[in-house]
Structure 1
Amino acid sequence: MEKPNHKHAADSFSSEDLVSPVKKAKKSEETGCDTSDGNRKLPSGAEDEKQDAGEAIAAVANRGAEEEDNRSCVLAEEKKEIIVEADVAEDKGARHTMEDVWVVLPDASLDFPGKLRCAHFAIYDGHGGRLAAEFAKKHLHLNVLSAGLPRELLDVKVAKKAILEGFRKTDELLLQESVSGGWQDGATAVCVWILDQKVFIANIGDAKAVLARSSATNELGNHTEASNPLKAIVLTREHKAIYPLERSRIQKSGGVVSSNGRLQGRLEVSRAFGDRQFKKFGVTSTPDIHAFELTERDNFMILGCDGLWEVFGPSDAVAFVQKLLKEGLPVSMISRRLVKEAVKERRCKDNCTAIVIVFKHG
């Protein structure tokens, strides 16, 4: 039996993968964004398919009256340092090939330095191959930075605009490349940027991001998850052809959603990078983008491709990671245990990739 293809930070991905050949010479003596360390650190600055993810996102964006009260207290205090630790694991599952690609960059400024912390994490889930996923990995973040992602003074509108433009530019270049290369595969994406203490989430397709938040804090400001289990908040909205809003958009573009819920009977997702042959039928690379401010109540995030969420519900995954954190396991081990549980114990048949991002409050 073939051994599982578990990989983590030490196995691959360097910032050099995101630097153009011309710029590599300039960076040859720099440490750049080295991610070879198993535990990456940086300093401050399946719910069911029909869940209304909009409500979950609204819970983060609006927070409600109770949240606003808590937020006022937090903002009244001096900002506390938040340490971010992240790591990734992957397994090809029962598939013959691995089409998932990931990015873990604790320092993602590259050639765009600035005063604000900038970290970037992403999972690209390829379908029909991994060329589109690899292309997005190499180009999206650079395109977002080039589009003006704030690096000195945070402006949420400017940041969202840069992310939107980065997605558009990446897909435009990818489609040009796919024509000359004669390939037609595509890739979904779930991406996170952490600027200072603001988190931006962008997604296309069916990969998800889930936030684990404490329901309350005690008078010392410490989390009280022992008596109040962490809430699992879905930060992304799935884009599938069968969903009403996506179906309507597809039909307006001349596409057809077949009885099997797939675009033209073939493609399940309605937003993706690449998929050149489906662009004329409404497949778009325009992401949903959401943002929230990190507070003492935010414990960790889980990014996962659809393979992970086929066997883990959001609350289930949060409880699994929370248990391992309480046991004192490092983030690198937690990400591997999560993927192993999905593939070996829960029989995930698809490629499975997960990034665990832990927020440690100083």
Structure 2
Amino acid sequence: MIAQAQAAAAAAEVMVEDIANDVVTHLDKVPVPESDDLQGFPSIRSGSYADIGARRYMEDEHIRIDDLSTHLGSLPSPSAFYGVFDGHGGSEAAAYMKDNVKRLFLQNLQISRVDEVEDSLREAFLSADFALAEEPSVSTSTGTTALTALLLGRLLVVANAGDCRAVLCRKGKAINMSQDHRPNHPSERKRVEALGGFVDDGYLNGVLSVSRALGDWDMKLPRGSASPLISEPEIQQIILTEEDEFLIIGCDGIWDVMSSQQAVKLVSRGLRRHDDPEQCAKELVREALRLNTCDNLTVIVVCFTAKDHQRDTTPQRKRCCNISTQALYSFKSLLNK
């Protein structure tokens, strides 16, 4: 009963949470910024953790590339790429995305201008969706949500199709860098119904709990036709400042039981204690399990500061205990026996 009450309280907080929405969705067409003017900011460190949770099978996949220049050559410094793929109907689609990330998402990436980055990512998602349709090893009844985060200098670009979520921590405050694509969301429901689909008890056409995903070709109309289920990502961009501390990327197994602000607080506390993003990711997963999440769990934590920058190194005051004269006398008497 206690565990159920905790889960209900967490779910209630998720519903009423007030998250900042001051995310820049469309920047002016300017060159991709370098980070030289902020003296080595950001300094990239990341960690990740995954757990099967209460499910019988693990259908999540993720990827971490802290130094993208080792794969693509000369890029703004720093450069990094992260992705979380939450599969459904089987693990094939998510596994295919992870195994083919470089070819599908990075090979044709255009980065000289901000608008080119956004166009390249949008094309990459659509091409990845078509690749799943043509891949014989992937069933047409399986699919995956996809969220990617690209860092080029101080430019952070998040592309999302599905209900994974990216959350930026700015001075301790959670800023959602993606929108959960659930069929019940007003804008998604409007789009779905305008294209002939319907939402039944929160499920697209009574089947799927997301309104955007890669794969699931048995639910999509022929290529080139408008479909209620789409793979087009929503893209958010922001220029990082020294007020930005870290980014959390997680599948919906985390967000089903935890608010964005709760996750930010937990990671902030962990970084002050041990300054280890890998350990923070593990702590997020364990907290979601404690709150009785019912899904697979995958989390990536990306820090924007050098090691020990956020760690609390303040010396701890030593606690002194006063012993009464009578107690000290009794203790000495005991020793002399």
TM over 0.5: yes
Question: In 1, distance between residues paired with 2:250 and 2:139?
Answer: 29
Q: Which residue of 1 aligns with 2:114?
A: 156
Q: Secondary structure at the match of 1:98?
A: coil
> Which shows bigger deviation, 137-146 or 303-312?
137-146
Question: In 2, distance between residues paired with 1:91 and 1:241?
Answer: 26
Q: Which residue of 2 aligns with 1:209?
A: 166
Q: CA deviation at 1:79?
A: 2.3
Q: CA deviation at 1:342?
A: 1.3
Alpha carbons of 1:60 and 1:254: their partners in 2 closer, same or farther (altered >3 Å)? Answer: closer
Q: CA deviation at 1:209?
A: 0.5
Matching residue within 319, 326, 331 for 2:272? 326
Q: Which residue of 1 aligns with 2:245?
A: 299
8 Å contact 1:140–1:170 — kept in the other structure?
no
The runs of 5 or more residues in structure 2 that have no matched partner are 1-10, 26-33, 222-226, 310-337
Q: CA deviation at 1:146?
A: 2.8
What TM-score, normalized by structure 1, do the two folds share?
A: 0.72
Per-residue CA deviations over 1:58-89 (Å, capped at 9, x if unaligned) read x0218xxxxxxxxxxxx9x9322021110100
Q: CA deviation at 1:306?
A: 0.4
Question: In 2, distance between residues paired with 1:110 and 1:296?
Answer: 25
Q: Which residue of 1 aligns with 2:332?
A: none
The runs of 5 or more residues in structure 1 that have no matched partner are 1-45, 63-74, 215-229
Matching residue within 90, 93, 97 for 2:50? 90
Q: Which residue of 2 aligns with 1:4?
A: none
Q: CA deviation at 1:274?
A: 0.4
> How many aligned positions are there?
281
Question: In 1, distance between residues paired with 2:119 and 2:228?
Answer: 22
Question: In 1, distance between residues paired with 2:47 and 2:18?
Answer: 29
Q: CA deviation at 1:248?
A: 2.1
Q: Secondary structure at the match of 1:60?
A: coil
Determine whether 1:342 maps to 2:284.
Answer: no
Report the AA paired with residue 165 of structure 1. E
Report the AA paired with residue 156 of structure 1. V
Report the AA paired with residue 61 of structure 1. V
Question: In 2, distance between residues paired with 1:270 and 1:335?
Answer: 27
Q: Secondary structure at the match of 1:149?
A: coil
C-alpha RMSD of the superposition: 2.4
Q: CA deviation at 1:109?
A: 4.0
Alpha carbons of 1:51 and 1:316: their partners in 2 closer, same or farther (altered >3 Å)? Answer: closer
Question: In 2, distance between residues paired with 1:146 and 1:48?
Answer: 38
Q: Secondary structure at the match of 1:268?
A: coil
Matching residue within 87, 95, 108 for 1:126? 87
What TM-score, normalized by structure 2, do the two folds share?
A: 0.77
Q: Which residue of 2 aligns with 1:10?
A: none
Q: CA deviation at 1:114?
A: 1.4
**Alignment identity in percent?**
34
Q: Which residue of 2 aligns with 1:283?
A: 229
8 Å contact 1:61–1:291 — kept in the other structure?
yes
8 Å contact 2:212–2:230 — kept in the other structure?
yes
